[in-house]
């Protein structure tokens, strides 16, 4: 709001809008096939599965906002590790749901601190530090449970697949996190610090920002978000699997960039993350529904992503 | 270490798969050199591998044309990114889906065969040093001259350092960016061809890993994400190091649970060692 | 008795992927068999190796390292049937025995312990034809695009459908052999599908499909299952609740132990044909309880093969 | 001089440049002929850099024409924001603007050419042609850029436009440049020289053009201006330069800072001087970093920093002016960690007014400001906070005369309220504003001057002593 003039057309200049437009088009195109039948079901499914992508995407966004070279490639391994440990601790016992959550979050905290320690103490480039560390987390997950799938406690599974006021519970979790993230980025001092650090770390430090604390918090938060997503996903799909996070590596980056994230801040990107998360689900559903094979599906997905970024950028650049 | 590894034969085995990785790393370097990042190089090399194992083998003329078209499309991608001022990370992410989809079209199931001449080239046994070592040295030398010594290479690095000043000096940056991406496409094509020469056939997922590997290689070799600071020799050494790190691991017998993690640990150790050296070098 | 002594020989397992319960079960079966064989003095060493990334290039490097380490035989579950041919050839040229299984390679110098994946796909449809004579709409859940196993099973399924024209495949999604991916893909396509009577899968994704149907509030169709314990358990629960009946088709991860013994036999000088077949693991309504009993919680149904089984398979192939 | 008879190098007629509603350049007529040395002055945001950009083709004019009767060859620009490629060596940077250097072995002539150019302009410069630019100090980078501007580059420089070339040079080196410009113009070359240092303008310019709000308000031979007349033409009421001496100085407080061999009392303005690149900036940065933390930030910082190297150390380029100003006070005004946006707006508006940032909307991007106005934003950022210590790294780079006087007064007023200033400057005039001065030589303090001892001669003496002795 603050960087735009009060022109109503200025809304078009918001890059996040285009992810929503694309999601809506994919939604409409899918329903075109059934002449409107199944709209509720599809929206419900999109919200359920979009929630996981949105949660990890918001975490990834915080890190990507830190500027070039910052990205967390350990998200899938973090999801797997925290879910595996949490489910193991819970052992399908209904009384243990919160204990499981605590274990998952503690795992996330540990992972985040470990990642940042590699980046800060050993000065490794984040891309490689998180990539290398993720291999270690993966081994830990294998070692801890050898890939055995333990069922989540009954109540927890019901919560994860249940709904409240017509929306999936996981989507509520994703929405609450989105609001919190939005407030932090748009309204809080810490959010300003994050955005400033991403533009020019040296200048930010000289402006009095505690940049290392900001970086640490970003890397810990992304791990916490990933851990939470892993915990929910395992509860949602009936247990933790070793490969459960695999598709969320590319997904987390994709929703951030499609969501119109630029490190500029100011135009909040959080709504874009959700739009992109829904889009990523709906576009696959649409192409599957039209019977597109894997090849066509990939080509069209890529083409649509590029179309979104072009649409978003031509609107952005004013004369 | 294994005694066999130090032989002519051993060195070749140890390093020959590093050759396509080194080429892909150079491709990634071309893009990082102009302050962008390429998330599609892995999918692109896979696509090239598929084309090489099918069209280039069956109908060489058509194959060559397709490969040229692929290089051209890389150059166009660079031009579009610059002209429309798009974030390269998104465009290349999108393109990675496109390349992957095309590869699935060409080879829905693994197959194809390496053209004989590539196979011969990749398995030739030069005197003194094995092919893998000769190739690595050759790639490093040629790209060093291309990017560091030559005038045009200097200007290309200048684009990464300060695009505006290059523009002000009268260069057409659109053309330079297209050139950088076109070179990335060229090295991507070489990587795909070299890979098929070694594996003898291709599949649509064959080189997906190269995206991260090539980024890691560039950084390991002393490159930086922004500012046009790259080193082709470093990139080749980075690619060799990454290959070697994985090999080193299978020489130690670890429990299968920890094999994957140990590769991560080795990566961290190698990088830390490199940084320590770099810091010592800077202090001296 | 005329067999050569293999007690000095060393065998390596080259594995490209460890990220699911099938592969974990495979690794542990191999480990058990190998440890026992080493303890018994049958071979000097049998070491499993897994690549960190499921990629042919990385596995090729792994094979090359095994050559350097002086192994006598490599038991190989390959990431690609053809992309490893270069490395396999190098191994053969260096005098190693290469036995591929599950993910087999086409290089002629290697042995192949194959599962007829196409037949497996076809059998799924044949089973459905028996159960649902009136036919109807089918949903196909495929594996990972571009992988040989996926293509083979899918081919078999489509062949089955063309022979049984009362069936029509109205939707096809890629579940990447992962529970959550399958669940997501099915949930996304379901709203646009007419009524579905049967789901043909590639194993491991049936439970996810069932959950997606349930979440969409649809009747559970006849889902052909794989060999995962939670699928089997779900099946048993459904059976007890409403008499649900289906079939489970899969490959036993224990095929790794079969491959181990085959390689040992080859090292021992046995004359072994290059192409061997193993039957796939089939669980029916009758054998369900038995299978559930022997399958550890959260793992996959499995069979472990002994030396005698290997000799039997070899004899059958001759 | 019969310059009027020679064909002009460039002629602007009615040149205009509009950025949306901003008329950065509003119909300028200007002619530069061989032998001209044109001094271009004007307040911050007057349109000087815009004029340069129109002449060299970086910006297309929104109106009017730019003619080069003999073609645009040999017209060179040295930009206000340093524009070298930091990842390349000095010689390689020459290559960027000299496409004629081709083929194998191009480096040797490149090295020779840049060395010759540096030697010609800055004798005794000590810059290695193979040094990477980002290892050079800001002054050295500026020197390289100027040398590239004057280098033959396959032809000969006919017109060199220098946009605030001396802003990071110390007096000695600036004098070398001025000497070179004089001889260059005497040899038939033309120079457009932009500076806020009026002394320099009078020292080189044969003709002075005054820009004000995008228009030429005065153009006369240099002899036709007095210093005061020039200042008046630029539209500033200059505050009395001698105010300092007259002012009653409040007594200084206790010592509140002791680091890096420096000592500062409450309410004191401490200057750091010496030749550029002798460790002053580094000492300041270390001192500032030690006063603040990588990990914590309280309600009020112990120290704030005013950067001189704007792009590297100061500006947050993606943000608006508002956010660039308020970043240092967010913590103070926040409630429960949330930004107090009214307070933010108020503080920014207040400082915009007090320090005279030329913009109609604080929500404009910071990069739309002229260089001097960006510098004012950085000043505002620091002064808006309550930090007891203000660390300033050559903060007057590119600030116009009028504003400078205002800022000096502001600094005195803040010091009187008990703030301590640590002030590194390349301008002796600024250093003379201080209560105490530390002179650096070879990364060490070579002299500490107080009170009446603070004179240009004493400072120069302390800066050079060693070199003369050896
Ligand atoms: N990601 C993969 N990459 C390569 N091959 C795979 C992969 N996943 C499964 N396979 C192969 O698919 C076949 C069947 O595996 P299956 O689908 O039964 O495993 P799963 O039961 O799904 O495992 P999980 O229970 O962990 O999901 C095997 O041949 C196995 O090697
Ligand atoms: N890209 C831009 N977008 C919007 N306004 C701009 C842009 N560039 C310059 N301006 C405006 O044009 C005016 C003239 O700027 P210019 O840089 O020419 O000033 P200047 O005389 O060089 O000032 P200084 O002495 O501070 O360098 C200023 O008001 C500035 O804010
Ligand atoms: Mg200016
Ligand atoms: Mg100066």
> What's the longest Cα–Cα distance across chain B?
60
pLDDT at D237 over 80: no
Query: Residue D162 C-alpha to ligand 4 middle, in angstroms?
Result: 14
Q: Are D25 and D54 contacting, i.e. CB atoms less than 8 angstroms apart?
A: yes
* A76-103 pLDDT, tens digit each: 999 999 999 999 998 878 888 899 999 9
> Closest residue of C to B200, CA-based?
C86
Find the mean pLDDT for residues B203-207. Answer: 87
According to the model, what pLDDT value does residue C199 have? 93
Three-class DSSP category at C13: strand
Q: Which residues surround ligand 3, an ion (CB under 5 A)?
A: D 49, 80, 370-371
pLDDT at A1 over 50: no
pLDDT at B4 over 70: no
Residues C69, D120: Cα–Cα separation, whole Å: 65
Instruction: Using alpha carbons only, give the angle D204, D206, D208 rounded to the nearest 5 degrees.
Output: 95
Per-residue confidence at B208, pLDDT binned at 50, 70, 90? confident
Q: Are B40 and B92 contacting, i.e. CB atoms less than 8 angstroms apart?
A: yes
Q: Which atom of ligand 2 is nearest to the CA of D369?
A: 31
Summary mean pLDDT of chain D:
86
Q: With a 6 A CB cut-off, is D19 part of the ligand 2 pocket?
A: yes
Per-residue confidence at D311, pLDDT binned at 50, 70, 90? confident
Q: Which atom of ligand 2 is nearest to the CA of D375?
A: 26
Probe target for ligand 2 pocket from D20, D24, D234, with the most ligand atoms within 8 Å of CB = D24
Kindly report the protein residue whose alpha carbon is nearest to atom 9 of ligand 2. D368
Nearest CB partner across the interface for D87, out of B164, B168, B227: B227
Find the mean pLDDT for residues C33-57. Answer: 88
Tokens of D261: 């061999």
Residues D436, D447: Cα–Cα separation, whole Å: 11
Nearest-ligand number for the alpha carbon of D50: 2
pLDDT at D240 over 60: no
Q: Are C102 and C76 contacting, i.e. CB atoms less than 8 angstroms apart?
A: no
CATH fold label, A16-29+38-310: ABC transporter involved in vitamin B12 uptake, BtuC (1.10.3470)
Q: Are C256 and C13 contacting, i.e. CB atoms less than 8 angstroms apart?
A: yes
Provide, as residue numbers in chain A, all residues whose Cβ is less than 8 Å from the Cβ of C217: 41
Three-class DSSP category at D16: strand
- Within D81-157, residue ranges assigned H as helices are 90-96, 107-121, 138-150
Per-residue confidence at B2, pLDDT binned at 50, 70, 90? low
Find the mean pLDDT for residues D394-415. Answer: 85
Residues 6+ apart with CB under 8 A from D377: D315, D321, D324, D325, D357, D366, D369
Shortest Cα–Cα distance, A96 to chain D (Å): 34
According to the model, what pLDDT value does residue D250 have? 62
Probe target for ligand 1 pocket from C149, C177, C249, with the most ligand atoms within 8 Å of CB = C177
According to the model, what pLDDT value does residue B125 have? 83
According to the model, what pLDDT value does residue B258 have? 82
Find the mean pLDDT for residues B239-256. Answer: 76
Nearest CB partner across the interface for B261, out of A123, A139, A304: A139
Summary mean pLDDT of chain A:
86
According to the model, what pLDDT value does residue A4 have? 37
Q: With a 6 A CB cut-off, is C228 part of the ligand 1 pocket?
A: yes
Q: Are D413 and D56 contacting, i.e. CB atoms less than 8 angstroms apart?
A: no
| Strands, E assignment, chain C | 10-15, 45-50, 73-77, 97-101, 111-114, 136-142, 167-174, 198-200, 222-223, 248-250, 275-277, 281-283
According to the model, what pLDDT value does residue A267 have? 53
pLDDT at D98 over 90: no
pLDDT at D30 over 80: yes
Physical contact, A and C (3 or more Cβ pairs within 8 A)? yes
Bridge partners of D212?
A: D215
Residues 6+ apart with CB under 8 A from D198: D41, D227, D230, D231, D401
According to the model, what pLDDT value does residue D249 have? 59
Closest CA to D192 of D397, D17, D51: D51
Residues C280, B63: Cα–Cα separation, whole Å: 40
Query: Residue C215 C-alpha to ligand 1 middle, in angstroms?
Result: 25
Residues 6+ apart with CB under 8 A from B198: B16, B17, B19, B20, B122, C60, C86, C87
Q: For residues B187, C56, C140 and A286, what is the CA-based torsion angle, rounded to 10 degrees?
A: -30
pLDDT at D393 over 50: yes
According to the model, what pLDDT value does residue D245 have? 43
Per-residue confidence at A74, pLDDT binned at 50, 70, 90? very high
Nearest CB partner across the interface for A138, out of B90, B102, B261: B261
Residue by residue, what is the 3-state secondary structure of D392-431?
Answer: EECCCCCCCHHHHHHHHHHHHHHHHCCCEEEEECCCHHHH
Provide, as residue numbers in chain A, all residues whose Cβ is less than 8 Å from the Cβ of D387: 208
Find the mean pLDDT for residues A170-197. Answer: 93
More confident residue, D249 or A84: A84
Find the mean pLDDT for residues C265-272. Answer: 91
| C-alpha D75: how far from chain center | 23
From the number of C-beta atoms within 10 Å of its C-beta (0-12, 13-18, 19+), residue C194 rates as: exposed
Nearest CB partner across the interface for B206, out of C50, C67, C83: C83
Find the mean pLDDT for residues C214-218. Answer: 86
Nearest CB partner across the interface for B250, out of C62, C82, C152: C62
Tokens of A78: 């973090």
Per-residue confidence at D244, pLDDT binned at 50, 70, 90? very low
According to the model, what pLDDT value does residue D360 have? 85
Q: With a 6 A CB cut-off, is C280 part of the ligand 1 pocket?
A: no
Closest CA to B187 of B58, B79, B75: B75
Tokens of D269: 């303005």
Kindly report the protein residue whose alpha carbon is nearest to atom 17 of ligand 2. D370
Share of chain A above pLDDT 70, in %: 91
According to the model, what pLDDT value does residue D2 have? 45
Summary mean pLDDT of chain C:
88
Per-residue confidence at B88, pLDDT binned at 50, 70, 90? confident
Subunits with 3+ C-beta pairs closer than 8 A to D: A, B
Q: With a 6 A CB cut-off, is D44 part of the ligand 2 pocket?
A: yes
According to the model, what pLDDT value does residue A264 have? 47
According to the model, what pLDDT value does residue B1 have? 47
Probe target for ligand 1 pocket from C19, C204, C259, C297, with the most ligand atoms within 8 Å of CB = C204
Residues D125, D133: Cα–Cα separation, whole Å: 15
Provide, as residue numbers in chain A, all residues whose Cβ is less than 8 Å from the Cβ of B224: 69
Q: Which of A155-159, A217-221, B204-208, D286-290 has the highest mean pLDDT?
A: A217-221
Shortest Cα–Cα distance, A159 to chain B (Å): 33
pLDDT at D238 over 50: no
Per-residue confidence at B62, pLDDT binned at 50, 70, 90? very high
Subunits with 3+ C-beta pairs closer than 8 A to C: A, B
| D62: number of Cβ within 10 Å | 15
According to the model, what pLDDT value does residue C138 have? 92
According to the model, what pLDDT value does residue B281 have? 63
CB contact under 8 A, B169 and D86: no
pLDDT at A5 over 60: no
Place of tokens 């194809």: B112
Per-residue confidence at B83, pLDDT binned at 50, 70, 90? very high
Kindly report the protein residue whose alpha carbon is nearest to atom 18 of ligand 2. D47
Residues C260, C28: Cα–Cα separation, whole Å: 13
CB contact under 8 A, A41 and C191: yes
Q: Are A129 and A119 contacting, i.e. CB atoms less than 8 angstroms apart?
A: yes
Q: With a 6 A CB cut-off, is C149 part of the ligand 1 pocket?
A: yes
Per-residue confidence at A168, pLDDT binned at 50, 70, 90? very high
According to the model, what pLDDT value does residue B122 have? 87
According to the model, what pLDDT value does residue B160 have? 93
CB contact under 8 A, C86 and B260: no
According to the model, what pLDDT value does residue D251 have? 66
More confident residue, D248 or C205: C205
Give the number of A-B residue pairs with CB atoms closer than 8 Å. Answer: 138
More confident residue, C278 or A4: C278
Q: C93-115 b/e with 16+ CB inside 10 Å = b?
A: ebebbbbbbbbbbbbeebbbbbb
Kindly report the protein residue whose alpha carbon is nearest to atom 21 of ligand 1. C204
What is the Cα Rg of chain A in Å? 20
Per-residue confidence at C12, pLDDT binned at 50, 70, 90? very high
More confident residue, C20 or D62: D62
Residues D231, C94: Cα–Cα separation, whole Å: 88
Find the mean pLDDT for residues C8-25. Answer: 87
Q: A131-157 b/e with 16+ CB inside 10 Å = b?
A: bbbbbbbbbbbbeebbbbbbbbbeebb
Residues A160, A173: Cα–Cα separation, whole Å: 10
Which pairs with CB-CB distance under 8 Å and at least 24 residues apart come from B270-279?
B270/B220, B270/B241, B270/B245, B271/A122, B271/A124, B271/A125, B271/A128, B271/A129, B271/A132, B271/B220, B272/A122, B272/A124, B274/B220, B275/A122, B275/A123, B275/A124, B278/B222
What is the Cα Rg of chain B in Å? 19
According to the model, what pLDDT value does residue C218 have? 87
Shortest Cα–Cα distance, A273 to chain C (Å): 19
From the number of C-beta atoms within 10 Å of its C-beta (0-12, 13-18, 19+), residue A167 rates as: middle
Provide, as residue numbers in chain A, all residues whose Cβ is less than 8 Å from the Cβ of B226: 68-69
Q: Are D357 and D403 contacting, i.e. CB atoms less than 8 angstroms apart?
A: no
Tokens of A265: 């801040």
Nearest CB partner across the interface for A243, out of C145, C178, C190: C178
In chain D, DSSP finds a helix count (H) and a strand count (E) of 16, 17
Subunits with 3+ C-beta pairs closer than 8 A to A: B, C, D
* D196-234 pLDDT, tens digit each: 888 899 999 999 999 988 889 989 898 888 888 888 887
According to the model, what pLDDT value does residue C206 have? 83
Per-residue confidence at C279, pLDDT binned at 50, 70, 90? confident
* C179-188 pLDDT, tens digit each: 888 899 999 9
Find the mean pLDDT for residues B195-221. Answer: 88
pTM beyond 0.95, yes or no: no
Q: With a 6 A CB cut-off, is D49 part of the ligand 2 pocket?
A: yes
Find the mean pLDDT for residues D437-449. Answer: 85
Q: Are A88 and A145 contacting, i.e. CB atoms less than 8 angstroms apart?
A: yes
Quote helix, strand, coil % in chain D, to nearest 5: 40, 25, 40
CB contact under 8 A, A2 and D323: yes
Three-class DSSP category at D168: coil
Tokens of C4: 């050569």
């Amino acid at each position: 709001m603050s960087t735009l003039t009060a022109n109503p057309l200025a809304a078009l200049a918001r890059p996040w809008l285009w992810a929503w437009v694309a999601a809506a088009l994919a939604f409409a195109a899918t329903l075109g096939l059934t002449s409107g039948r199944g709209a509720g079901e599809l929206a419900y499914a999109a919200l359920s599965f979009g929630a996981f992508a949105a949660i990890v995407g918001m975490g990834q966004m915080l890190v990507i906002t830190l500027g070039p070279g910052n990205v967390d490639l350990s998200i899938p391994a973090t999801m797997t590790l925290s879910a595996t440990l949490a489910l193991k601790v819970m052992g399908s016992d209904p009384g243990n749901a919160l204990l499981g959550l605590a274990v998952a979050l503690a795992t996330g905290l540990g992972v985040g601190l470990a990642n940042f320690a590699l980046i800060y103490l050993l000065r490794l480039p984040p891309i490689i530090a998180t990539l290398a560390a993720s291999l270690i987390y993966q081994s830990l997950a294998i070692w801890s449970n050898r890939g055995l799938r333990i069922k989540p406690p009954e109540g927890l599974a019901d919560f994860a697949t249940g709904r409240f006021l017509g929306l999936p519970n996981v989507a509520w979790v994703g929405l609450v996190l989105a609001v919190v993230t939005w407030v932090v980025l748009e309204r809080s001092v810490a959010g300003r610090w994050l955005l400033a650090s991403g533009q020019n770390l040296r200048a930010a430090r000289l402006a009095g920002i505690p940049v290392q604390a900001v970086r640490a918090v970003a890397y810990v938060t992304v791990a916490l978000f990933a851990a939470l997503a892993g915990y929910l996903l395992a509860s949602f799909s009936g247990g933790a699997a070793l490969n459960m996070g695999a598709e969320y590596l590319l997904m987390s980056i994709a929703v951030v960039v499609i969501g119109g994230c630029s490190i500029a801040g100011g135009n909040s990107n959080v709504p874009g993350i959700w739009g992109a998360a829904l889009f990523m689900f709906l576009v696959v559903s649409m192409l599957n529904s039209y019977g597109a094979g894997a090849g066509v599906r990939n080509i069209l997905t890529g083409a649509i992503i590029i179309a979104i970024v072009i649409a978003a950028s031509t609107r952005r650049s004013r004369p | 270490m294994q005694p066999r590894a130090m032989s002519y034969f051993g060195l070749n085995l140890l390093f020959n798969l590093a050759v396509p990785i080194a080429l892909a790393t150079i491709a990634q370097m071309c893009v990082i050199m102009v302050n962008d990042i390429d998330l599609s190089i892995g999918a692109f090399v896979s696509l090239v591998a598929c084309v090489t194992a099918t069209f280039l083998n069956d109908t060489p003329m058509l194959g060559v044309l397709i490969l040229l078209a692929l290089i051209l499309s890389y150059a166009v991608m660079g031009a579009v990114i610059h002209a429309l001022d798009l974030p390269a990370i998104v465009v290349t992410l999108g393109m990675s889906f496109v390349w992957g989809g095309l590869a699935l079209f060409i080879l829905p199931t693994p197959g194809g065969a390496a053209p004989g001449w590539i196979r011969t080239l990749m398995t030739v046994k030069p005197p003194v040093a094995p092919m893998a070592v000769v190739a690595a040295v050759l790639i490093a030398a040629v790209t060093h001259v291309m990017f560091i010594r030559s005038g045009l290479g200097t200007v290309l690095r200048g684009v990464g350092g300060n695009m505006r000043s290059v523009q002000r000096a009268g260069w057409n940056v659109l053309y330079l960016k297209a050139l950088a991406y076109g070179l990335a496409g060229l090295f991507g094509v070489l990587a795909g061809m070299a890979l098929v020469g070694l594996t003898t056939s291709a599949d649509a997922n064959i080189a997906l890993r190269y995206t991260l590997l090539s980024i890691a290689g560039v950084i390991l070799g002393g490159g930086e994400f922004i500012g046009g600071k790259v080193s082709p020799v470093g990139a080749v050494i980075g690619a060799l190091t990454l290959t070697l790190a994985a090999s080193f691991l299978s020489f130690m017998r670890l429990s299968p649970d920890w094999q994957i993690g140990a590769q991560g640990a080795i990566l961290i150790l190698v990088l830390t060692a490199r940084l320590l050296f770099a810091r010592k070098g800077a202090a001296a | 008795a005329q067999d050569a002594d293999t007690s000095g020989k060393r065998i390596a397992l080259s594995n490209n992927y460890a990220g699911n319960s099938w592969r974990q079960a495979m690794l542990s079966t191999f480990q058990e068999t190998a440890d026992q064989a080493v303890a018994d003095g049958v071979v000097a060493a049998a070491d499993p190796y897994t690549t960190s990334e499921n990629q042919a290039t990385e596995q090729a490097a792994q094979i090359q390292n095994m050559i350097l380490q002086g192994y006598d035989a490599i038991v190989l579950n390959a990431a690609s049937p053809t992309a490893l041919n270069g490395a396999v050839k190098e191994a053969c040229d260096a005098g190693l025995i290469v036995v591929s299984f599950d993910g087999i390679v086409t290089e002629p110098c290697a042995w192949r312990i194959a599962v007829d994946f196409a037949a497996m796909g076809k059998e799924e449809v044949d089973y459905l034809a028996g159960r649902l004579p009136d036919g109807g709409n089918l949903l196909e859940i495929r594996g990972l695009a571009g992988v040989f196993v996926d293509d083979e099973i899918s081919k078999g399924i489509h062949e089955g459908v063309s022979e049984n024209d009362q069936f029509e495949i109205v939707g096809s999604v890629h579940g990447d052999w992962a529970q959550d991916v399958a669940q997501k893909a099915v949930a996304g396509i379901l709203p646009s599908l007419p009524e579905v009577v049967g789901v043909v899968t590639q194993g491991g994704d049936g439970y996810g499909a069932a959950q997606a149907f349930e979440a969409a509030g649809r009747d559970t169709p006849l889902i052909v299952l794989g060999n995962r314990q939670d699928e089997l358990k779900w099946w048993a629960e459904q059976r007890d609740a409403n008499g649900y009946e289906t079939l489970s088709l899969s490959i036993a991860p224990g095929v790794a132990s079969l491959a181990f013994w085959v390689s040992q036999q080859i090292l021992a000088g046995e004359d072994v044909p290059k192409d061997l077949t193993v039957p796939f693991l089939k669980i029916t309504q009758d054998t369900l309880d038995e299978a559930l009993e022997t399958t550890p919680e959260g793992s996959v149904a499995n069979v472990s093969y002994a030396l005698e089984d290997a000799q039997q398979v070899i004899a059958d192939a001759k | 001089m019969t310059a009027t008879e020679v064909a002009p190098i460039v002629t602007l007629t009615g040149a205009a440049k509009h950025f949306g509603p901003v008329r950065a350049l509003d119909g300028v007529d200007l002619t530069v002929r061989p032998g001209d040395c044109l001094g271009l002055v004007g307040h911050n945001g007057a349109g000087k850099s815009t004029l340069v950009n129109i002449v060299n083709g970086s910006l297309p004019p929104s109106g009017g024409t730019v003619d080069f009767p003999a073609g645009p060859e040999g017209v060179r620009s040295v930009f206000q924001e340093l524009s070298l490629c930091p990842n390349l060596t000095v010689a390689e940077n020459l290559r960027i603007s000299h496409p004629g250097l081709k083929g194998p072995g191009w480096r040797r002539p490149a090295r020779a050419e840049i060395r010759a150019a540096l030697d010609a302009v800055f004798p005794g410069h000590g810059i290695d042609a193979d040094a990477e630019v980002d290892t050079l100090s800001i002054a050295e980078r500026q020197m390289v850029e100027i040398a590239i501007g004057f280098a033959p580059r396959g032809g000969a420089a006919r017109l060199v436009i220098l946009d605030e070339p001396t802003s990071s040079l110390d007096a000695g080196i600036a004098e070398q440049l001025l000497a070179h410009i004089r001889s260059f113009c005497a040899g038939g070359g033309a120079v457009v020289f932009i500076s806020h240092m009026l002394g320099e303008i009078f020292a080189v310019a044969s003709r002075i053009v005054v820009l004000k709000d995008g228009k030429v308000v005065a153009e006369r031979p240099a002899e036709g201006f007095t210093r005061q007349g020039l200042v008046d033409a630029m539209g500033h009421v200059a505050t009395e330069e001698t105010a300092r001496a007259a002012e009653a100085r409040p007594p200084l407080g206790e010592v509140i800072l002791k680091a890096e061999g420096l000592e500062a009392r409450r309410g004191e303005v401490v200057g750091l001087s010496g030749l550029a690149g002798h460790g002053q900036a580094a000492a300041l940065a270390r001192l500032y970093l030690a006063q603040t933390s990588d990990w914590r930030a309280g309600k009020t910082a112990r120290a704030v920093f005013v950067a001189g190297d704007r792009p590297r150390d100061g500006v947050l380029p993606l943000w608006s002016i508002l956010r660039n100003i308020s970043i240092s006070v967010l913590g103070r005004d926040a409630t429960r960690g949330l930004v107090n946006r009214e307070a933010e707006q108020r503080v920014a508006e207040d400082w915009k007014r007090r320090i005279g940032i030329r913009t109609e909307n604080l929500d404009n991007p910071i990069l739309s400001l002229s260089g001097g106005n960006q510098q004012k934003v950085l000043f505002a950022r620091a002064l808006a906070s309550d930090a007891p210590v203000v660390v300033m790294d050559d903060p007057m780079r590119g600030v116009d005369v009028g504003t400078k006087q205002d800022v000096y007064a502001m600094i005195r007023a803040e010091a009187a309220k008990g703030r301590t200033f640590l002030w590194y400057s390349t301008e002796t005039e600024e250093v003379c504003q201080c209560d105490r001065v530390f002179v650096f030589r070879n990364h060490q303090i070579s002299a500490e001057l107080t009170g009446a001892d603070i004179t240009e001669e004493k400072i120069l003496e302390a800066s050079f002593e060693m070199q003369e002795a050896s």
